[in-house]
A and B are shown apart, each in its own frame.
Chain A
């Protein structure tokens, strides 16, 4: 175990080109997909919580089902769609970072929406009453809702970010774990394990956790300042 920590430390300062490529591809994929999923999922969650229409309950149940889609199934679906013989072959997304981001967004959006819906369901009545009392327009009402749920927004984002970072099933299928192109931390760990290099795999895992820790500390500080 000590060896792995030592190796993680050495790796960090070795200026190893492949390592930094893996880290940058991971960050690019994780940040983009979690932000896109947040931008799509939050309005959807607000919609679930505030709109009143027939079939709303069914939609929420459907969303909760999608929250539990196994990543590898999502990966397989994207693989089939983007394949050379798949219906979306013209997009040329297979084995690319944008393709991986699409798969991640499919996985993360329902989670962001579901988290927001759950949070808002408890406070939506009050917010709507306030908005009505102030005669706020629909758009402003939405802004008020967001403002009321800043705290939940940050935690929803972090949850999505953590999922995106830790995911391996979908990204290995859609991305193909191609060196210097689509190899991310998790797929690289798998690769090194397959080559028998457990220490290097674990060293990468330690780096992955350190990056997560940094992001969480930053988010925590941001959260703290706002409340």
Chain B
């Protein structure tokens, strides 16, 4: 070690004596570089904080947005559980069949059995009342009911990958339910939270054992393509078990007078007729799928961004999560469709005044 150090020292001295002047240049260069590097993380991380900083001063002068239209049968938001079929026609990106995709069917069935059993049903039925003064989810009367015995987790079945929509996760339902299941049976549920479209895409790529989603129009092709299977003791791939409502949210002064609409389609027509700003999720989520079905048909609005190219002055195709969209709507005094659970959670957390 000392020999090496001596060698390096010698080399340094030699370098110094031969290139005396260049040494000083070098030092200044490195000093500058270090100063830049030390500042670097600060520069990079600053944007994390700016969206909030820039918008908070406006908060006080904003009226805020509120629920204008709700509890209509057309606004029912059904949630379904679907187990992923381990023998599904999985394909890689080039369209070649992939046979050895590992799916934890035993774990998926255990979680589904539990979700449809008495314990979870009671928990779901009570969720949110204490915190928000309202129930956030309701159990469906005709839901499939399970009395199956749930096996304890083994090393192979321990990890369950649940791909779910942002609404059930952001509303806190999953972190309220799952620890009970995990403690009791020893499983480890990994929750991936994304819009319904992305949740289904993840399952098609073999990255989920079961999905919890809320868009019938997207679930049906998934089932028809063979990606889901009927579990023992059930009679359908799609196990629709709970629901809540979509709500039309908008500025408190309600310029489109949606609150007086005869039905939800009329409310949407009023927004379109008056070209009042409307924030669309634009991310193929269940909420997005629902929203496009509520516009007057002659507008031709679909989940495809091209279909709204003529309406860009009032229709904002945002491609973002529910929370981000609610923030946008709040800032722009725009209308927006939201599931009620996310809206109430968002408001309770201080995301929206009033």
Contacts and interface: CB of A to CB of B under 8 A. Distances in A.
A155 B38 CA distance: 7
Given A95-B190, A196-B352, A83 B40 contact: no
A197 interface: yes
Contacts of A196: 323, 326-327, 345-352
Nearest to A87: B92
A179 B182 CA distance: 14
B148 interface: no
* Most chain A beta-carbon neighbours within 10 Å: one of B14, B53, B207, B345: B207
A117 to B, nearest CB: 13
B37 A122 contact: no
Contact-residue size bin, chain A (C-beta under 8 Å from the other chain): 35 or more
A179 B19 CA distance: 56
A201 B10 CA distance: 53
Nearest to A157: B37
A140 B7 contact: yes
Contacts of B191: 178-179
A186 B44 CA distance: 12
Given A130-B15, A166-B48, 10 more contacts: A85-B101, A136-B7, A158-B41, A166-B45, A191-B193, A194-B170, A196-B326, A196-B346, A196-B349, A196-B350
Interface stretch (B22-30, B228-236, B257-265): B22-30
B346 A158 contact: no
A147 B5 CA distance: 10
A158 B30 CA distance: 14
Nearest to B33: A155
Contacts of B206: 83-85, 89
The 8 A-B pairs of least Cβ separation, nearest first, read A84-B206, A196-B351, A162-B41, A196-B346, A194-B323, A155-B37, A196-B349, A197-B349
B190 A197 contact: no
Contact of A144 (B8, B30, B93, B98): B8
B225 interface: no
Contacts, number: 173
Nearest to A90: B100
A202 B45 CA distance: 11
Interface stretch (A37-45, A46-54, A101-109, A205-213): A205-213
Contacts of A208: 45, 48
Interface of B: 4, 7-8, 10-12, 14-15, 18-19, 22, 26, 29-30, 33-34, 36-38, 40-42, 44-45, 48-49, 51-53, 56, 90-93, 98, 100-103, 161, 166, 170, 172, 175, 190-193, 205-207, 321-324, 326-327, 345-352
Interface string A136-174: 100010011001100110111011011101100000000
18 contacts: A85-B90, A89-B100, A95-B207, A122-B29, A134-B11, A143-B8, A144-B8, A151-B30, A152-B33, A162-B44, A191-B193, A193-B323, A194-B170, A196-B351, A198-B350, A199-B350, A205-B45, A208-B48
A68 to B, nearest CB: 15
Given A123-B26, A130-B15, A216-B38, A202 B190 contact: no
The secondary-structure label for the interface of chain B is helix
Contacts of B190: 95, 176, 178, 181
Given A158-B40, A176-B192, A201-B52, A134 B350 contact: no
Given A155-B36, A198-B52, A144 B102 contact: no
Contacts of A143: 4, 8
